[in-house]
Amino acid sequence: MTELLRVENLSAGYGEAVVLNGVSLAIGEGQTLALLGRNGTGKTTLINTLAGATRQHGGCITLAGRLLHTLAPHERAAAGIGWVPQERNIFKSLTVHENLTAVARPGKWTPDGVYAMFPRLAERKTNLGTQLSGGEQQMLAVGRALVLNPRLLLLDEPLEGLAPIIVEELLRAIRRITREEGLSAIIVEQHPQAVLAISDLAVVLDRGSVAHAGSAQELKQNPELLDSLLGVAR
Protein backbone atom coordinates (compact mmCIF):
# COMPACT_ATOMS: atom_id res chain seq x y z
CA MET A 1 0.00 0.00 0.00
CA THR A 2 1.27 3.45 -0.92
CA GLU A 3 1.81 5.74 2.05
CA LEU A 4 -0.16 8.98 1.88
CA LEU A 5 0.44 10.86 5.14
CA ARG A 6 3.36 10.65 7.54
CA VAL A 7 3.64 12.65 10.75
CA GLU A 8 6.97 12.40 12.55
CA ASN A 9 7.79 13.66 16.06
CA LEU A 10 5.24 16.47 15.78
CA SER A 11 5.08 19.19 18.44
CA ALA A 12 2.52 21.95 18.03
CA GLY A 13 0.11 24.22 19.86
CA TYR A 14 -1.11 27.79 20.10
CA GLY A 15 1.41 30.57 20.48
CA GLU A 16 4.04 29.43 22.97
CA ALA A 17 1.72 26.80 24.48
CA VAL A 18 2.69 23.31 23.33
CA VAL A 19 -0.25 20.87 23.17
CA LEU A 20 1.19 18.03 21.07
CA ASN A 21 4.45 16.35 22.02
CA GLY A 22 6.31 13.94 19.75
CA VAL A 23 3.26 12.66 17.83
CA SER A 24 4.02 10.21 15.03
CA LEU A 25 1.57 8.36 12.77
CA ALA A 26 1.11 7.27 9.16
CA ILE A 27 -1.78 6.26 6.91
CA GLY A 28 -1.86 4.80 3.43
CA GLU A 29 -3.84 5.66 0.32
CA GLY A 30 -7.49 4.72 0.87
CA GLN A 31 -7.16 4.18 4.62
CA THR A 32 -9.27 5.76 7.36
CA LEU A 33 -7.83 6.57 10.77
CA ALA A 34 -9.97 7.00 13.89
CA LEU A 35 -8.40 9.64 16.13
CA LEU A 36 -9.61 9.08 19.67
CA GLY A 37 -8.97 10.35 23.17
CA ARG A 38 -10.63 12.00 26.14
CA ASN A 39 -11.49 15.70 25.99
CA GLY A 40 -8.47 17.97 25.97
CA THR A 41 -5.95 15.36 24.82
CA GLY A 42 -4.97 17.16 21.60
CA LYS A 43 -7.20 15.60 18.93
CA THR A 44 -8.49 18.90 17.53
CA THR A 45 -5.02 20.42 17.80
CA LEU A 46 -3.64 17.60 15.64
CA ILE A 47 -6.34 18.07 13.00
CA ASN A 48 -5.82 21.84 13.06
CA THR A 49 -2.06 21.37 12.76
CA LEU A 50 -2.43 19.19 9.68
CA ALA A 51 -4.63 21.92 8.19
CA GLY A 52 -2.10 24.63 9.09
CA ALA A 53 -4.12 26.42 11.76
CA THR A 54 -1.73 26.11 14.72
CA ARG A 55 1.88 26.92 15.50
CA GLN A 56 4.17 24.00 14.79
CA HIS A 57 7.16 23.82 17.13
CA GLY A 58 8.86 20.75 15.72
CA GLY A 59 8.58 17.63 13.64
CA CYS A 60 7.69 16.89 10.04
CA ILE A 61 4.45 16.36 8.07
CA THR A 62 4.49 14.89 4.56
CA LEU A 63 1.57 14.26 2.21
CA ALA A 64 2.32 11.95 -0.72
CA GLY A 65 6.00 12.67 -0.18
CA ARG A 66 5.56 16.43 -0.20
CA LEU A 67 6.54 18.49 2.83
CA LEU A 68 3.30 19.87 4.20
CA HIS A 69 4.41 21.70 7.33
CA THR A 70 6.14 24.40 5.27
CA LEU A 71 2.91 25.35 3.49
CA ALA A 72 0.25 27.93 4.36
CA PRO A 73 -3.32 26.66 4.95
CA HIS A 74 -4.54 27.57 1.44
CA GLU A 75 -1.51 25.81 -0.05
CA ARG A 76 -2.28 22.70 1.99
CA ALA A 77 -5.81 22.71 0.57
CA ALA A 78 -4.34 22.89 -2.93
CA ALA A 79 -1.94 20.05 -2.03
CA GLY A 80 -4.86 17.79 -1.11
CA ILE A 81 -6.11 18.53 2.42
CA GLY A 82 -9.89 18.75 2.86
CA TRP A 83 -10.77 20.06 6.33
CA VAL A 84 -14.12 20.00 8.15
CA PRO A 85 -13.46 21.79 11.47
CA GLN A 86 -15.72 21.58 14.51
CA GLU A 87 -17.03 25.08 13.74
CA ARG A 88 -17.97 23.96 10.17
CA ASN A 89 -16.97 27.40 8.82
CA ILE A 90 -19.48 27.46 5.99
CA PHE A 91 -20.16 30.80 4.30
CA LYS A 92 -23.42 31.63 6.04
CA SER A 93 -24.20 34.64 3.82
CA LEU A 94 -24.00 32.48 0.68
CA THR A 95 -26.49 29.93 -0.61
CA VAL A 96 -25.83 26.20 -0.41
CA HIS A 97 -24.96 26.14 -4.12
CA GLU A 98 -22.69 29.17 -3.83
CA ASN A 99 -20.87 27.54 -0.89
CA LEU A 100 -20.08 24.54 -3.09
CA THR A 101 -19.23 26.30 -6.34
CA ALA A 102 -17.10 28.98 -4.67
CA VAL A 103 -14.43 26.47 -3.65
CA ALA A 104 -14.86 23.62 -6.15
CA ARG A 105 -11.79 22.25 -7.89
CA PRO A 106 -11.82 19.99 -10.95
CA GLY A 107 -12.14 16.31 -10.12
CA LYS A 108 -14.42 13.45 -9.24
CA TRP A 109 -16.47 15.28 -6.62
CA THR A 110 -18.82 17.95 -8.01
CA PRO A 111 -21.72 19.89 -6.47
CA ASP A 112 -24.10 17.48 -8.24
CA GLY A 113 -22.29 14.56 -6.61
CA VAL A 114 -22.73 16.20 -3.22
CA TYR A 115 -26.45 16.72 -3.89
CA ALA A 116 -26.81 13.05 -4.84
CA MET A 117 -25.24 12.02 -1.54
CA PHE A 118 -27.13 14.61 0.54
CA PRO A 119 -30.62 15.07 -0.99
CA ARG A 120 -31.46 17.51 1.83
CA LEU A 121 -28.91 19.93 0.37
CA ALA A 122 -30.37 19.56 -3.12
CA GLU A 123 -33.75 20.58 -1.72
CA ARG A 124 -32.15 23.64 -0.07
CA LYS A 125 -29.83 24.63 -2.90
CA THR A 126 -30.95 28.28 -2.83
CA ASN A 127 -31.11 28.59 0.98
CA LEU A 128 -28.53 30.70 2.77
CA GLY A 129 -26.22 29.04 5.26
CA THR A 130 -28.07 30.80 8.07
CA GLN A 131 -31.30 29.07 6.99
CA LEU A 132 -29.93 25.55 7.47
CA SER A 133 -30.26 23.30 10.51
CA GLY A 134 -27.13 22.18 12.33
CA GLY A 135 -27.21 18.83 10.55
CA GLU A 136 -27.63 20.46 7.14
CA GLN A 137 -24.74 22.82 7.88
CA GLN A 138 -22.57 19.79 8.71
CA MET A 139 -23.57 18.10 5.46
CA LEU A 140 -22.66 21.29 3.61
CA ALA A 141 -19.31 21.48 5.41
CA VAL A 142 -18.53 17.91 4.34
CA GLY A 143 -19.71 18.62 0.81
CA ARG A 144 -17.60 21.75 0.60
CA ALA A 145 -14.51 19.78 1.62
CA LEU A 146 -15.29 17.09 -0.96
CA VAL A 147 -15.59 19.48 -3.93
CA LEU A 148 -12.00 20.51 -3.23
CA ASN A 149 -11.29 16.95 -4.43
CA PRO A 150 -8.80 16.30 -1.62
CA ARG A 151 -6.47 13.35 -1.15
CA LEU A 152 -7.04 13.38 2.63
CA LEU A 153 -10.25 14.37 4.42
CA LEU A 154 -10.00 15.69 8.00
CA LEU A 155 -13.26 15.42 9.98
CA ASP A 156 -13.31 16.94 13.47
CA GLU A 157 -16.25 15.52 15.45
CA PRO A 158 -18.64 15.49 12.46
CA LEU A 159 -21.47 13.92 14.50
CA GLU A 160 -21.31 16.24 17.51
CA GLY A 161 -24.65 17.60 18.74
CA LEU A 162 -26.73 16.16 15.90
CA ALA A 163 -30.05 14.32 16.03
CA PRO A 164 -29.80 10.51 15.77
CA ILE A 165 -31.42 10.43 12.31
CA ILE A 166 -28.86 12.94 11.01
CA VAL A 167 -26.02 11.03 12.66
CA GLU A 168 -27.07 7.89 10.77
CA GLU A 169 -27.28 9.82 7.49
CA LEU A 170 -23.83 11.33 7.97
CA LEU A 171 -22.31 7.99 9.00
CA ARG A 172 -23.66 6.39 5.84
CA ALA A 173 -22.18 9.21 3.78
CA ILE A 174 -18.78 8.99 5.51
CA ARG A 175 -18.77 5.22 5.08
CA ARG A 176 -19.48 5.66 1.36
CA ILE A 177 -16.80 8.35 0.95
CA THR A 178 -14.15 6.26 2.66
CA ARG A 179 -15.06 2.61 2.11
CA GLU A 180 -16.69 2.75 -1.32
CA GLU A 181 -15.00 5.78 -2.88
CA GLY A 182 -11.64 5.08 -1.24
CA LEU A 183 -10.89 8.58 0.04
CA SER A 184 -8.37 8.61 2.89
CA ALA A 185 -9.64 10.25 6.07
CA ILE A 186 -8.81 11.07 9.67
CA ILE A 187 -11.91 11.21 11.85
CA VAL A 188 -12.10 12.66 15.37
CA GLU A 189 -15.16 11.40 17.21
CA GLN A 190 -16.35 11.14 20.83
CA HIS A 191 -18.32 7.95 20.07
CA PRO A 192 -15.54 5.44 19.38
CA GLN A 193 -17.63 2.46 18.33
CA ALA A 194 -19.27 4.42 15.50
CA VAL A 195 -16.00 5.57 13.97
CA LEU A 196 -14.00 2.40 14.68
CA ALA A 197 -16.56 0.44 12.65
CA ILE A 198 -15.65 2.38 9.50
CA SER A 199 -11.91 2.80 10.10
CA ASP A 200 -8.77 0.80 9.34
CA LEU A 201 -6.46 2.35 11.92
CA ALA A 202 -6.88 3.83 15.38
CA VAL A 203 -4.71 6.28 17.27
CA VAL A 204 -5.53 7.30 20.85
CA LEU A 205 -4.02 10.50 22.23
CA ASP A 206 -3.42 11.20 25.89
CA ARG A 207 -1.93 14.47 27.16
CA GLY A 208 -0.79 15.40 23.67
CA SER A 209 1.06 12.16 22.94
CA VAL A 210 0.18 8.85 21.28
CA ALA A 211 -1.04 6.42 23.95
CA HIS A 212 -2.09 3.68 21.51
CA ALA A 213 -1.81 2.99 17.78
CA GLY A 214 -3.00 -0.05 15.87
CA SER A 215 -5.88 -1.72 14.07
CA ALA A 216 -9.31 -0.11 14.46
CA GLN A 217 -11.05 -3.47 14.42
CA GLU A 218 -8.78 -4.94 17.09
CA LEU A 219 -9.48 -1.96 19.34
CA LYS A 220 -13.21 -2.16 18.65
CA GLN A 221 -13.21 -5.84 19.66
CA ASN A 222 -11.26 -5.19 22.87
CA PRO A 223 -13.66 -3.26 25.13
CA GLU A 224 -11.38 -3.61 28.16
CA LEU A 225 -8.52 -1.86 26.35
CA LEU A 226 -10.89 0.73 24.92
CA ASP A 227 -12.29 1.40 28.36
CA SER A 228 -8.83 1.77 29.88
CA LEU A 229 -7.85 4.27 27.17
CA LEU A 230 -11.08 6.26 27.00
CA GLY A 231 -13.35 5.27 29.86
CA VAL A 232 -16.19 4.81 27.36
CA ALA A 233 -16.08 1.20 26.20
CA ARG A 234 -19.74 1.03 25.32
What pLDDT is recorded for position 234?
43
15, 16, 14, 37: which is closest to 25 by C-alpha? Answer: 37
Question: Low-confidence residues of the chain, pLDDT below 50?
Answer: 233-234
Give the model's pLDDT for residue 233.
Answer: 44
Q: What is the pTM of this model?
A: 0.95
What integer pLDDT is reported at residue 232 of this predicted model? 55
Domains in the chain: boundaries: 1-80+173-234
Per-residue pLDDT at 231: 76
3-state secondary structure 108-163: CCCHHHHHHHCHHHHHCCCCEHHHCCHHHHHHHHHHHHHCCCCCEEEEECCCCCCC
Does the domain at 1-80+173-234 match CATH 3.40.50.300? Answer given as: yes
